[in-house]
Amino acid sequence: MSEMAVLPRSKVCGQRRPDTISHELICTARALFADDKGLLAMDESNHTCNERFAALGIPQTVEARRAYRELIVTTPSLGDCISGVILYDETIHQEKDDGTPFVKVITDGGIIPGIKVDTGAMNMAGYPGEKITEGLDGLRDRLKEYFEMGARFAKWRAVIAIGDGIPSQGCIEANAQALARYAALCQEAGLVPVVEPEVLMEGEHTLGRCCEVTEKVLRTVFDRLYKQRVMLEGMILKPNMVLPGLACPKHATVQCLLRAVPAAVPAIAFLSGGQSGEMASARLNAMNARFKLRLPWALAFSFARAIQQPALEIWRGEKANLLPAQRALYHRARCNRAARRGAYDAAMETNGSECNSSGGLPAKSCVSTV
Ligand code: 13P
């Protein structure tokens, strides 16, 4: 008998939402992490996308952004490795140059469309150097509209900086509360919330400090999710890896997550946070190779830069570079799928072959502390 049949949906975590919605949420969350696939975040705001284009001399126009997003969603066989893509409001309304809506291209490719619904991290009044993510106003109506357009999951990113005297309790609590309110509204609308409290990698902090802050943030987030009656089985956590600084390969991610993330959460999908594509794959691989069979949740990926960046650098806005750019995108997606099985190896970067998944060895650049 399946677990679904055992748990009366309305009783899961004492929720009061219709059984059918709870069932759909659980099914979507599971589908997003089936077959060792993961998420591709392509939800950069226009501002962020333009910044990345500017760095490579690509025109910062609606058409260039559309063409780039078309490159991504038409990458052949992307659905072999990617189960869901996170879109931005501009992108979910866009079409291929032959007029086919992106949402149709995505779903025809066996991929579930998702949507970023926060409206960005703003300076937090009274808290210099800290941010609060906005977007709750009108969210219920926007979620309904996105659901009707085909989205089945959503994303909201909170940003926590580490520095002198920060993060403050006030900043952590305000962001956790907003994440929980967003997640509850998503579940009401039938969208799986991807809850993203990102502790930033920027700074000179140590591994210990990152671990301490991440644990505190996650504990606060799960407290608020509980108070807002969010069904943990129908959500996804998208955290940072627990790292000391960009250059150091050590991390303490699993230890930290075990302390703070309830076992009812089906999957944890990491953001890449500015790590190189190879480093992000290697670290995800190291965690899965060592712990996969002993963890309550799937350890997966929801990378933007660590999947997209090599492709963007090859494309540079030139039609002639489309196919090599798509190959590079597919390659990173495939490396990360292998990393979910503990089967990624640095050799994949040159010869494309995975190591034996049953004996998945951490890639060379991986480390003992995971
Ligand atoms: P990166 O993987 O580039 O950190 O982006 C993930 C994301 O969705 C940030 O919100």
Q: What pLDDT, in 10s, does the model give residues 344-355?
A: 999 999 877 776
299 lines ligand 1 (CB under 6 A): no
What is the pLDDT averaged over residues 266-288? 95
Residue 24 Cα to chain centre, angstroms: 20
Ligand 1 atom closest to Cα of residue 196:
10
Q: Could you give phi then psi for residue 369, rounded to 5 degrees?
A: -90, 100
Q: Which of the residues 24, 70, 130, 196 is marked catalytic?
A: 196
| Token representation of residue 73 | 């969603």
pLDDT over 50 at 340, yes or no: yes
pLDDT band with cut points at 50, 70 and 90 for residue 93:
very high
303 lines ligand 1 (CB under 6 A): yes
* Cα-to-centroid distance, 264 and ligand 1 (Å): 24
Residue 341's pLDDT is what? 97
Q: Can you tell me the distance from the alpha carbon of 342 to that of 352, in angstroms, rounded to the nearest whole number?
A: 15
* Cα-to-centroid distance, 277 and ligand 1 (Å): 12
What is the pLDDT averaged over residues 97-107? 98
Q: Find out whether 235 and 265 touch, Cβ atoms under 8 Å.
A: yes
Residue count (the chain): 370
- Mean pLDDT score of the chain: 91
Residue 203's pLDDT is what? 84
Q: Can you tell me the distance from the alpha carbon of 284 to that of 198, in angstroms, rounded to the nearest whole number?
A: 17
* Cα-to-centroid distance, 198 and ligand 1 (Å): 9
Distances (CA, A) of 100 to 20, 97, 320, 370: 31, 7, 22, 43
Residue 18's pLDDT is what? 74
Q: Can you tell me the distance from the alpha carbon of 80 to that of 36, in angstroms, rounded to the nearest whole number?
A: 10
What is the pLDDT averaged over residues 22-32? 97
Q: Find out whether 146 and 92 touch, Cβ atoms under 8 Å.
A: yes
Q: What is the pLDDT of residues 144-179, one digit of tens each?
A: 999 999 999 999 999 999 999 999 999 999 999 999
Distances (CA, A) of 201 to 173, 247, 368: 20, 10, 20
Q: Find out whether 310 and 277 touch, Cβ atoms under 8 Å.
A: yes
Q: Could you give phi then psi for residue 139, rounded to 5 degrees?
A: -65, -40
Higher pLDDT, 10 or 233: 233
Q: Can you tell me the distance from the alpha carbon of 365 to that of 370, in angstroms, rounded to the nearest whole number?
A: 12
Concatenating the DSSP letter of every residue in 186-234 gives HHHHT-EEEEEEEE---SS--HHHHHHHHHHHHHHHHHHHHHTT--GGG
Q: Nearest residue CA, atom 5 of ligand 1?
A: 304
Residue 15's pLDDT is what? 54
Q: Can you tell me the distance from the alpha carbon of 302 to that of 272, in angstroms, rounded to the nearest whole number?
A: 8
Residue 363's pLDDT is what? 36
For CA atoms 26, 31, 36, 41, the dihedral sign is: negative
- Percent of the chain whose predicted confidence (pLDDT) is above 70: 89
157 lines ligand 1 (CB under 6 A): yes
**Residue 196 known to be catalytic:** yes
The structure tokens 């992307």 sit at 78
What is the pLDDT averaged over residues 207-227? 96
Burial 131-167 (b: 16+ CB within 10 A, else e): bbbebbeebeebbeebbeebbbbbbbbbbbbbeeebb
- Percent of the chain whose predicted confidence (pLDDT) is above 90: 84
Residue 2's pLDDT is what? 41
Q: Can you tell me the distance from the alpha carbon of 242 to that of 205, in angstroms, rounded to the nearest whole number?
A: 11
Concatenating the DSSP letter of every residue in 179-194 gives HHHHHHHHHHHT-EEE
271 lines ligand 1 (CB under 6 A): yes
Residue 226's pLDDT is what? 98
Residue 370's pLDDT is what? 60
Residue 121 Cα to chain centre, angstroms: 17
Q: Can you tell me the distance from the alpha carbon of 100 to that of 4, in angstroms, rounded to the nearest whole number?
A: 36
What is the pLDDT averaged over residues 309-338? 98
| Token representation of residue 331 | 């390659």
What is the pLDDT averaged over residues 208-219? 95
